[in-house]
């Protein structure tokens, strides 16, 4: 079985949409990082999004883990014209589009951004490549709220709307298992939003 130990990056304290905008994480809570390090498998591979809030969180967890190249495909959802704007401003300027984006996630995308389905396909392609390259390994993947939710959705067999109801805290762990069964890919949910 290949296990993905999804870690959401450290907090950014942003009060606005933060998708592909490259903003740093606050990694001052070293006790939380130490607990997270101790919880994760020591012999796991370590990969992250290439955005600084994820890559620096991964740096803090590296220790003796084998680090593989950052993956741009593990970036947060691309919020396009919404990136950097507050939620209230977005809902005022794009009332119908923003409502549909959250209430019927799937095909609706922010202007110049990507939809849930587009982002999920991007992440799933990256995950499948990791499974093919490193079968049977533990993989710690430091990524983002939306990225982790797409994978939780797939493993739990949920709709995108159902997955959006799941809380994913900063520095939490969502552990998903993958194996090839008689009917193809089989996923299991071992932990969701666990805070060590």
pLDDT, mean of residues 120-124: 98
Q: How far is CA 26 from CA 10, 54, 61, 187, in A?
A: 6, 11, 14, 32
Taking the C-alpha atoms of residue 156 and residue 79, their distance in angstroms, rounded to an integer, is: 25
pLDDT of residue 181: 85
pLDDT of residue 83: 97
Categorize the per-residue pLDDT at 191 as very low, low, confident or very high, splitting at 50, 70 and 90: very high
pLDDT of residue 98: 96
56, 58, 63, 65 alpha-carbon torsion, rounded to 10°: -150
Structural domains of the chain, with CATH: 2-194 (3.40.50.1240)
pLDDT of 8-45, one tens digit each? Answer: 999 999 999 999 999 999 999 999 999 999 999 999 99
pLDDT, mean of residues 165-186: 94
pLDDT of 50-101, one tens digit each? Answer: 999 999 999 999 999 999 999 999 999 999 999 999 999 999 999 999 999 9
């Amino acid at each position: 079985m290949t296990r993905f130990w999804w870690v959401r990056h450290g907090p950014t304290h942003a009060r606005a949409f933060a998708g592909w905008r490259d903003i740093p994480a606050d990694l001052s809570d070293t006790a939380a990082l130490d607990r997270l390090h101790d919880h994760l498998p020591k012999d796991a591979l370590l990969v992250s999004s290439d955005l600084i809030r994820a890559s620096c969180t991964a740096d803090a967890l590296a220790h003796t883990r084998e680090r593989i190249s950052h993956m741009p495909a593990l970036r947060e959802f691309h919020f396009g014209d919404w990136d950097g704007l507050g939620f209230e401003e977005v809902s005022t300027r794009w009332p119908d589009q923003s409502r549909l984006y959250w209430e019927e996630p799937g095909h609706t995308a922010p202007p110049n951004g990507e939809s849930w389905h587009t982002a999920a396909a991007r992440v799933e392609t990256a995950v499948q490549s990791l499974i093919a390259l490193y079968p049977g390994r533990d993989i710690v993947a430091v990524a983002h709220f939306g990225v982790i939710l797409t994978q939780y959705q797939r493993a739990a067999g949920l709709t995108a709307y159902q997955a959006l109801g799941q809380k994913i805290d900063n520095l939490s762990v969502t552990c998903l298992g993958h194996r090839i069964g008689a009917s193809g890919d089989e996923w299991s949910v071992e932990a969701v939003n666990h805070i060590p």
